[in-house]
Amino acid sequence: MKIGIIGATGKAGQAIYREAEKRNHDVTAIVRSSEKARELFGDNVKMIKKDVFTLNQADLSGFDYIVDAFASPKAYEHLDLAGKLIRMFRENEETTLFFILGAASLNDDNGKRYLDTILANYADQPWIATPLQQAHEYDYLQWIDNVKWTAISPQETFNVGPATGYVMGEESIMKNSEGKSTVTTGNVAKAVVDEIESPTHLNKRFTVVDQ
C-alpha cells in the first residue's frame, strides 16, 4: 500500500511510520521538518516537506491511505486539518483518510462521554482544548458519508512503547488485564497497519487497548 503519514515525526506518527515500513508498505512522511524526519527514519526517507495547511491535491494524490497523525499546540488545528482533508477527498474513491483521534470521544463506564468527565474536572486547564477539539473532530467525521475515512482512538493513557498485542473495541474506554485504560504507540501502530491491510472500519472509529 502507498501510505502518506501527516505528522510522521510525532508520537503516534513515528510508531505508525516504523510499523508500516517494517511491513513493506510504500511510506511517505508528510512533515514540517525534513531534518527531524531524516534523523528518525534515515537519509532515504520518502518525504513531503510542507506546512500541512498548504498541502494541495497534487501533493496527496495517488495514496491508498493518508494517515492524519498531526499534532499542533493550536488545538483547533486538529479540526481544521480534518476539514481540509475531507474537503480535498470529497467523492474520492481511491484514497482512505485515517484519523488518529484522542480518547475523549470514547464513552466511559457509565456510558457518558469521557470528554464530559474531564470537562467537569479540568475545564479551566489549558490542555483541555486538545481533547475538546479532537472530540469535535470525531463528531465532524460522523457527518461525512462521501469520503472513505476511518479513525482510531487510543486510551486514557497513550505512551510510547512496543507492540505487545491489543484488544479492539468500538465506542468505549477499555481496560487491559490490569484494569488500566492504557495503550502503547506500538499497539496503536499495529492496529492502524492491520486496519490498512484488512479494513473493517470504513467510515467508523475504533479503539484498542493493550492486552
Nearer to a second copy among residue 60 and residue 196 (C-beta): 60
Residue 79 lies near a second copy (rule: CB under 8 A): yes
Establish if 57 lies at the interface with a second copy (CB under 8 A).
no
Is 90 a binding residue for a second copy by CB under 8 A? The answer is: yes
Q: How far is the CB of 7 from a second copy (least distance, A)?
A: 18
Q: Does 165 bind a second copy (CB under 8 A)?
A: no
47 Cβ contact partners less than 8 Å away, ≥ 6 residues apart: 28, 29, 30, 31, 34, 37
Query: What do you get for the CA distance between the two ends of the chain, in Å?
Result: 27
2's grid cell: 502507498
- Look at strands 205-210 and 166-169 and give their pairing: antiparallel
Q: Of 21-29, 84-92, 165-173, 195-203, which segment contacts a second copy by CB under 8 A?
A: 84-92
The reply on whether position 123 binds a second copy by CB under 8 A is: no
Closest CA relative to residue 191, chosen from 146, 154, 149, 144: 154
Number of residues that bind a second copy (CB under 8 A): 17
H or E element, residue 189? helix 185-197
- Contact footprint for a second copy (CB under 8 A): 53, 74, 76, 79-80, 83-84, 86-87, 90, 133, 136, 139-140, 143-144, 146
